Amino acid sequence: MYKQRIQVIVIFLLCISSLKTVAQQKSLTRKWTPDNGDGTYKNPILWGDWPDPDIIRVGEDFYFVSTSMHYVPGCPILHSKDLVNWEISGYAVDRYNEDPRYDLHGGNMYLRGSWAATIRHHNGLFYVGFCTPAWDKEKGNFSICISKDIKGPWTRTIFPEYLYDPGLFFDDDGKVYVVHGQGKLYVTELAADVRSTVGQAKLIWSERIEKPQGSTAPYNAYGMEGSHVYKVNGYYYITCPAGGTEGWQVCLRSKNIYGPYEKKVIVQDESSYPYNGLHQGGMVQLKDSSWWFMIMQDRGAIGRVAHLEPVVWKDNWPMIGENGNGKGVLNYKKPIEGNKTSIKIPATTDEFNVSQLGLQWQWNHNPDNSKWSLTERKGYMRLHAGFAAELTTARNTLTQRVQGPYSEATVEMDVTGLKDGNVAGFGIFQSPYAYIAIKKQGNSNSLVVVNNGTVVDIIPGFNHKKIWIKATATDKGFKGNFFYSIDGKKFIPFGNTLNMGLGYDWTANRFALLNFSTTEDGVDGYADFNWFRFHGVNE
């Protein structure tokens, strides 16, 4: 009897352990979903790098545009039916042709692509505007992209003027304006076709914004930026962040587009991710006349995430938070009641089974389109090697966002097409970066881990035809870790931990597929990626 009881207890414990393992696996296969499935949602709406959000409503549809810096295609645009469930619709910029450094010729354009995009819809056309800083010049430029269809094609006009952090606005008298600037804010009128400026920029604000009581933010010498413009009940409203990463959101209002303006802090809250405040974004009015604000929050190396916040009008000010209390919500009733939209999230996993690149992918700088293919070997992403000394100068590094609070991604790679000098693998890209790769020298392959240009571990004579590589990322300390497998089942830790950082300021870390050649003889070598599979947790 005693032995039978022991056996029953052992079986019970094994069952519990098995159920726990299954539960952990199910938890891991989930991705961050803000929709709680019960008519409520949780923040962040997007637990990844979707910075500087701006949103509009066109009929029953919502559109969201974001900054993408040096990644191509640029200016990603998302679509939603309820402001909670979002999918990628496309991009406003196919590639940057105005400077050879976007092709990594004669230098690079890290951080210099699309900044602080603005989106509007007017008379049947979509408009996306953004600025492009240029560190080696006194100023950058400003662009407007126009399309009849949110999915494109888009026509881009590059202005000679530099309108920093632009907020595009169509007034009800037919005039078009951009509010722009950092610290000092300006209004510039545009022509009716939105392809050129009219006259000179006019200063409308130069007052420095003091931090509100209770804020832990350092004193920000730059003041306000990231402007977005609205007209409600005869008032012009300009929403702007102030205080930087640990900052808050300010609103200006006036009866005249050129001022004078009065100011009010409409949200100051860092409680959801101390000590980083909710700041910078745009607001939108729904068909039921309610207003909502999409606002970002810095979450370090994982990125600047988007929060959805209710807006309550008090004394003609758009106050953010429940009952307009100036504080963000964590869980809240969805904006659109009874919406039957199934849960949707931006795409991640890719089996590479179609001939077009998935919208979740962006290249580091402009790609060389002659050196990648989804058709040369059906069901595979083939990356041909280009010559580069190391990863940051290599073209055709294919990336997508890491996500919080924890994410991992795995690839299966066939290396039979590599040539001498090729370095092909998978890892996490930013500055610093790290990856696991096969490095081919002569007729022999080595398995290496490279952490920011330094080989930290190596297995010589690694002559397997296939390899599986896994990378993980977490917001707990911003750590990246790496693993390899020779059978796709048992994964072995390899190398050291990547302390994920933001050497390319304001641009989050990304999972990255790579292949480049350190020798000219290897530029025709290729690596075949069978699939990319993304997993995460939904805490």
Furthest C-alpha separation in the chain: 96
Annotated catalytic residue: which of 225, 309, 475, 528? 225
Q: What is the secondary structure of 437-477 as a DSSP string?
A: EEEEETTEEEEEEEETTEEEEEESS---SEEEEEEEEETTT
Give bridge partners of residue 412 from the DSSP assignment.
468, 531
Locus of tokens 């100051």: 268
Residue 386 parent element (H or E): strand 386-387
Separation between Cα atoms, residue 479 and residue 40, nearest integer Å: 31
Angle made by CA atoms 114, 116, 118, in degrees to the nearest 5: 100
Tokens of 124: 């049947």
Closest Cα to residue 57, out of 127, 5, 121? 121
Tokens of 268: 């100051």
Locus of tokens 């040369």: 376
Annotated catalytic residue: which of 35, 52, 298, 309? 52
Tally of CB atoms within 10 A around 492: 11
Tokens of 276: 């980083």
For residues 301 and 405, the answer to whether their CB atoms sit within 8 Å is: no
Tokens of 477: 């300390």
Q: Which segments of 243-374 are extended strands (E)? A: 248-254, 262-267, 279-285, 291-298, 304-314, 317-320, 331-333, 362-364, 372-373
Separation between Cα atoms, residue 134 and residue 438, nearest integer Å: 36
Tally of CB atoms within 10 A around 139: 14
Is residue 225 annotated as a catalytic residue, yes or no?
yes
For residues 269 and 277, the answer to whether their CB atoms sit within 8 Å is: yes
Please return the burial class of 405, using the count of CB atoms within 10 Å of its CB with bins 0-12, 13-18 and 19+. Answer: middle
Residue 18 parent element (H or E): helix 2-29
Catalytically annotated residues = 52, 225
